[in-house]
Structure 1
């Protein structure tokens, strides 16, 4: 069942390309945030599960000289100006092209063409590049464009849609690398700089702003929240996805991911950009490089959130939780006796609601952990407590 959200928290829509400024109406009472990929993507209708789920124009430039060791961006001192910092960091920022097969006729395969454009940044001399999951999602080929216009094919090392992070790698000498800083040291009011391929065409665009807030939460249509996000007001646009948010030491303190354009119907918003904290990026990229994915717990149900309005319409005695639509065979939930139409209201005593989605609560556990679920079963009008041993999320969920 397709889910709709109208909570007061931020609502992230899956409209990936609004180059022409088209902005769909927001859910009533919420804010609408857009991913920053610079090419349109069909609206996705996703069944909920519990699993903690334009051609780029570049100026011609000389071919970079191959070096055995790419020069890292120094962090020993603060640059004399923003321009100095950008000059040092910009070679480590790349444009990422997501290429997919387009429109083959009469059963033909179609031609591989750019389907979307984002940004990434080089983190080591092995050519590893951090970007967003939604930048490379669905790609059949990935191409990287360096600041001087040179191009290289890249391969996907690992991706995690729940954190919206991906790591890709090129097999050519890289011109520079940029270090990950400590996002925990940020304070509201700190100056930050964003670099990215705005609209896909304007590569390595530089904007400046300040940290506006910390610990923000963005709600996604898939029923989980992107938590602990950095809010900032450095202007960012479609194409900036996956690009670095930098402190004045030239360190990456965040990965730009989403921007709020509309607060409610007819009410526009300005200066609301969001980035994934660098400390989150550090931990997850290590796992993506090592294993190709982030291991997350798995319950094995399809569900929809229970809202107070839905509860009232169905005369239910509970007004929060998730309604189980179906249970996957041989899943942890199935083996624990959870049934279709059950309403899961709590996990280890924590109420499941719009501020505490089920998937995000599962993020607090690992496969093999035992959790207690409080369940209301409408068909028997009883409240049960069920112990479930969490499994490992399959790759295809």
Structure 2
């Protein structure tokens, strides 16, 4: 049993298909915007061609004679607040990562915008014209991310969010990258360097040497989204570049558990089709604003096939909070999430009998971190959390769901069992600590 304050362990399954596309030329070390030394990059074993058609592995496909094949589709368990199912990364997952020295500036800098005016929606009279204008505005800021790893390669998507050449994508798209190449909207291919990653949120930032008048995405406000709102997804599903799909926001505030402790606590659910290769792309509203980063789609656990119209995206407000930290520090220094400062294990009848607990449900405190919220409030290892405020805690997943809805500094009433004694302890939540 693995104890985590947020989420629970999940399973992964892989489907690999060989490919005959090439690796890419090694990138140059990332140069910080001012000061700092570039981090060393992995040395290539041999020179490779940048154009497809060589002799390595690429788990994706474009419909032309280069022969790219779809592969490395990653099925994951998606644990939701109300629904439990199997999830599928909309991109590719590998091992390890390389991190270069970060630039010191932390404020995102807007860049050029396309000369496109998006008209306001006027019922059904102009919805098609609005979609066309939004696509014309957004697509130049969406890129294809080609990744070469020790295991082969992969294709994902990314969004240009800073005129200095910073691009946001998913961590699982670039994980294990030895070389990266970005394909811009106009077809230009540029080497890219990894600035930093945030595995806990499945986010990463890469950087290119920006061309003149590079289009930068306009960031929206995901806190203002509404269920039923029309959205568009832009990316490179299955390596088919600059593909646009449309749908609505199906739900908000979904909790999605990926592998390795990655938790998206307030994910946007959409029925806009999201397929492998869409990872790291753009989910936009009908004003042309980026509102989320498509990350994974659900899989029907009965048939182990993709569930049509059940996709999830990381809210742009989370992106806006995390990305400047990565640009400044090369890593996340503040999680922004509420935490108790404990490690917990799920309680069931078997655990209750083994440990002689008074209840057969809840979250058993296994460890308390000195100086953090739980310790300051007097919680101890062996206590069983059964309720927070008015919400019953049946297991660790429910505990994580409740904490995901809170903010650091919130005061909560934690009902526990200590032996056979029931008590309520008032706790001021701290910030969930970032794992180094």
Task: Report the TM-score, using the length of structure 2 for normalisation.
Answer: 0.64
Is the Cα–Cα contact under 8 Å of residues 370 and 390 in structure 1 kept in the other structure?
A: yes
Evaluate the alpha carbon distance shift between residue 10 and residue 253 of structure 1 in structure 2; reply closer, same or farther with a 3 A threshold. farther
- Answering whether residue 310 of structure 2 is matched by residue 272 of structure 1, we say yes
- Answering whether residue 398 of structure 2 is matched by residue 361 of structure 1, we say no
CA distance in 2, matches of 1:21, 1:167: 22
Unaligned runs of 5+ residues in structure 2 are: 17-69, 97-109, 121-127
Evaluate the alpha carbon distance shift between residue 288 and residue 342 of structure 1 in structure 2; reply closer, same or farther with a 3 A threshold. same
- Give the secondary structure class of the aligned counterpart of 2:218: coil
1:330-345 to structure 2, matched below 5 A, reads 333=374, 338-345=379-386
- Give the secondary structure class of the aligned counterpart of 2:129: coil
Aligned to 1:94: 143
Unaligned runs of 5+ residues in structure 1 are: 43-67, 103-112
Which of 335, 342, 361 is residue 295 of structure 1 equivalent to? 335
1:124-203 to structure 2, matched below 5 A, reads 124-137=162-175, 139=177, 142-147=180-185, 148-157=187-196, 159-173=197-211, 175-199=214-238, 201-203=239-241
- Give the secondary structure class of the aligned counterpart of 1:269: strand
Is the Cα–Cα contact under 8 Å of residues 217 and 290 in structure 2 kept in the other structure?
A: yes
- Give the secondary structure class of the aligned counterpart of 2:236: strand
Evaluate the alpha carbon distance shift between residue 318 and residue 172 of structure 1 in structure 2; reply closer, same or farther with a 3 A threshold. same
TM superposition shift of 1:99: 5.1
CA distance in 2, matches of 1:278, 1:143: 24
**Relative to structure 2, which stretch is displaced further, 227-236 or 185-194?**
185-194
TM superposition shift of 1:356: 3.6
**Relative to structure 2, which stretch is displaced further, 163-172 or 328-337?**
328-337
CA distance in 2, matches of 1:393, 1:349: 22
User: Which portions of structure 1, spanning 4 or more consecutive aligned residues, are displaced by more than 6 angstroms?
Assistant: 9-12, 25-29, 312-315
Aligned to 2:244: 206
| RMSD (CA atoms) | 4.3
Aligned to 1:260: 298
- Answering whether residue 85 of structure 2 is matched by residue 31 of structure 1, we say yes
Evaluate the alpha carbon distance shift between residue 16 and residue 135 of structure 1 in structure 2; reply closer, same or farther with a 3 A threshold. farther
Q: How many residues align?
A: 352
TM superposition shift of 1:240: 1.1
CA distance in 2, matches of 1:230, 1:254: 7
TM superposition shift of 1:274: 1.4
CA distance in 2, matches of 1:274, 1:84: 24
- Give the secondary structure class of the aligned counterpart of 1:396: coil
Is the Cα–Cα contact under 8 Å of residues 96 and 145 in structure 1 kept in the other structure?
A: yes
CA distance in 1, matches of 2:415, 2:178: 43
Is the Cα–Cα contact under 8 Å of residues 35 and 257 in structure 1 kept in the other structure?
A: yes
Q: Deviations over 1:334-370 (max 9, x none)?
A: 566544433223345543346742375166232x777
Aligned to 1:51: none
Evaluate the alpha carbon distance shift between residue 170 and residue 234 of structure 1 in structure 2; reply closer, same or farther with a 3 A threshold. same
CA distance in 2, matches of 1:98, 1:185: 34
TM superposition shift of 1:128: 2.4
Task: Report the TM-score, using the length of structure 1 for normalisation.
Answer: 0.69
Aligned to 2:129: 80
**Relative to structure 2, which stretch is displaced further, 257-266 or 26-35?**
26-35
CA distance in 2, matches of 1:41, 1:375: 40
**Relative to structure 2, which stretch is displaced further, 215-224 or 169-178?**
215-224
Aligned to 1:45: none
Which of 416, 430, 434 is residue 375 of structure 1 equivalent to? 416
Aligned to 1:247: 285
- Give the secondary structure class of the aligned counterpart of 1:240: coil
Evaluate the alpha carbon distance shift between residue 298 and residue 185 of structure 1 in structure 2; reply closer, same or farther with a 3 A threshold. closer
Aligned to 1:323: 364
Is the Cα–Cα contact under 8 Å of residues 16 and 36 in structure 1 kept in the other structure?
A: no
Q: Deviations over 1:123-163 (max 9, x none)?
A: 23222222223334455665433231411323325x44444
- Give the secondary structure class of the aligned counterpart of 2:272: coil
Evaluate the alpha carbon distance shift between residue 377 and residue 38 of structure 1 in structure 2; reply closer, same or farther with a 3 A threshold. same
CA distance in 1, matches of 2:320, 2:76: 35
TM superposition shift of 1:24: 5.8
